A and B are shown apart, each in its own frame.
Chain A
Amino acid sequence: MLQNELFDNVIKDLNAGYWELHDNPESEVWSEKFYDTLGYSKGELAPTIDYFLEHLLHKEDVDVFRDNFLNYRRNTVNFKQHIKILSKQGDYKLFRCATNDELPVNIKSEISLIFFFEIKLEPQLDIKKDNFYYKETAQMTETGSWYVDFHKKKSYWDFETRRILEYADDYIPSLKDSAIYYAEDCRQQAADCFFSCAMAGTPFNTEIKMVTAKDRIIWVRAIGKPVYNENKEIIGIRGVFQDIDDIKVKELKLQKSMSIIASQNSRLFNFAHIVSHNLRSHTSNLSLLVQLIEDINKPEEKIELIQEIKQISSSLNTTIEHLNEIVTIHTNRQQERKLVKFQDALDLVISGIGQMISISKTKIETNFEAFDRIRYIPAYLESILLNLITNAIKYKHPDRDPKIDIRTYVEGENSYLIVSDNGVGIDMKLFKDKIFGMYKTFHYNKDAVGIGLFLTKNQIESLDGKITVESEVGIGTTFTIEF
């Protein structure tokens, strides 16, 4: 029996089951903890070495353990050995066996003891068979695992994580510089995920862009969850990276073509509306005219009315021509874009309407310093400039000569062209929604047709750009084109 309290406490602290070996070779004393660890209760087992060797110890370990045991009992030769013992649940648990020399130096035991320290395995260090399946799964699903250890301040990557991120097999990941593994525009996202996982224990499952050793940017699904110790403190984050680059790239392509289709669809719908409305006014006139011709009896009046058909037919033609222009825009979007200098396009436009400019004493100022050329359909750029310039001249302020300011500028990733004038301006409160509509005119000018800005908008949008307008009555109008 154990003699003193100090000894008792030490044994407790070891937190391991043990045997006491007594002189009678037929009976060992197995501690309660030894039974507990394996899930047995006391009466179920015969606490002898023979029973142990025959029923509980894994047969791989029997020979070595028997020798160690007997040598220890007879000659007090200490030993250490890893053994597997059958538990009540039917599986083998791994233990590290140690003897009296494992005790702290200040404790002497008069009895020979054998301690059994249970070894709890990390899943990926588990038995070889499992490791094989794990590797297969990782490779087939292109999923690598990783672990961030907060205490050791280190990260660990498995072979598949290294493969996905194109690092050498012996590469040691850096925890301090972990931002470099993520694409620049995703670093905040990564930081947020890891921070809230580390601080609040929030698991994450997100799609993120990472940078490989070869500087390739790939899409990865990153899943992570906190790892706790017994005191429920977060001591690390464990997770996986799955290579989803192929799928994600396809998804993004699909999204892009969806949005192109949606915008084309809405333009088509809009166009159908315009066609229906614009043709309707002519057909309804035609139908009214026919009624009138039928209703009138005098032949000479009938003939007079038939003349009116000419008028309707010619208006119909004009409308069809306008509609044709719009259709051409939609088919032209396939046309090749070329590098066009703004100044070149502007020179062409100015030479075309030179007389209009000089008669109206229009001054045009330009500044293309921000960027002086663009990949565009040259005819569109000319048409856009022509429309905006002639508009500015047509709707000039009666008290002053027209001044048109044309310049480019860049903001963030977007590039803009701005055309502003000092003309009469447009009442934005009344006409904001109508400025770019077809056959919308806001002024009393005779030559206002209401097709120019509509075409301009269509041309810009067919090349995935945007046009907006700001104006103040009596001050001027500014058109902003986003390419």
Chain B
Amino acid sequence: MDRNIGLACIIDDDSMYVNLVKKIIETKNLCQNLMVFKNGKDALNYFEAILSSLEKASIPEIIFLDLNMPVMDGWEFLENFTKIKNKFGKKITLYIVSSSINPVDIERAKNINSVEDYLIKPVTIEDLEAIFLNRST
């Protein structure tokens, strides 16, 4: 299998979920590297820091973003991320992955330009495979 995806990023405070996704990615060989942030604030700090270096290898191609997180939730991260995402010189595809089935949340997410899709937890292995393969071909 091609390993075109170099770096993926998960922003989620549920460590069990993160570990499982990590395991799936390893097992299925979906990408080379995975970075994890426990909340929006940590992730935002990282993205703001790499803006100055713009080292291609440290910019993820895919982001999986949770909505309900402490300190800075997914919405606030999105708001800030949307302002800077065009400065990376690289397409970053962002998926919201949340356990919220609230239609208000889903509608709100779909109206944000930088959001590719809204996935409801539990995600399936097939979902993840499709996302990674689609992105790499």
Chain A residues with a Cβ under 8 A of chain B: 276-277, 280-281, 283-289, 291-292, 295-296, 305, 308, 311-312, 315, 430, 439-444, 448, 450
Contacts and interface: CB of A to CB of B under 8 A. Distances in A.
Interface in B17-62: 17, 19-21, 23-24, 27
A312 B20 CA distance: 11
Contacts of B101: 276, 280
Given A430-B76, A442-B70, A288 B123 contact: yes
Interface string B3-22: 00000000000101101110
B71 A442 contact: yes
B125 interface: yes
B3 to A, nearest CB: 19
Contacts of A305: 23
Given A285-B122, A441-B71, A444-B71, A292 B27 contact: yes
A285 B14 contact: yes
Contact of B99 (A277, A441, A442, A444): A277
B122 A288 contact: yes
A288 B122 CA distance: 6
A448 to B, nearest CB: 7
Interface residues of B, number: 21
Contacts of B68: 277, 439
A439 B124 CA distance: 26
Contacts of B27: 292, 295-296
B70 A292 contact: no
Contacts of B17: 281, 284-285, 288
B136 interface: no
B20 A285 contact: yes
Contacts of B19: 308
Nearest to B27: A296
Interface in B102-137: 121-125
A312 to B, nearest CB: 6
A452 to B, nearest CB: 14
A281 B71 contact: no
17 contacts: A277-B100, A281-B14, A281-B17, A284-B123, A285-B14, A285-B122, A287-B122, A288-B124, A292-B20, A305-B23, A311-B16, A439-B68, A439-B70, A440-B70, A441-B71, A443-B71, A450-B70
A280 B99 contact: yes
A283 B123 CA distance: 11
Residue of A286, A288, A295, A441 most packed against chain B (CB within 10 A): A288
Contacts of A283: 122
Contact of B122 (A284, A296, A315, A441): A284
Nearest to B100: A277
A443 B41 CA distance: 11
Contact of A289 (B20, B76, B99, B124): B20
B99 A284 contact: yes
Contacts of A276: 101
A361 B17 CA distance: 40
B36 to A, nearest CB: 15
Contact of B16 (A280, A312, A442): A312
A440 B71 CA distance: 8
B121 A284 contact: yes
A281 B19 CA distance: 14
B14 A441 contact: no
B99 to A, nearest CB: 4
Given A285-B14, A308-B19, A441-B70, A291 B124 contact: yes
Contacts of A312: 16
B11 to A, nearest CB: 15
Contacts of A441: 70-71
A440 B73 CA distance: 10
Contacts of B124: 288, 291
A435 to B, nearest CB: 12
Nearest to B76: A430
A315 B15 CA distance: 11
A306 to B, nearest CB: 13
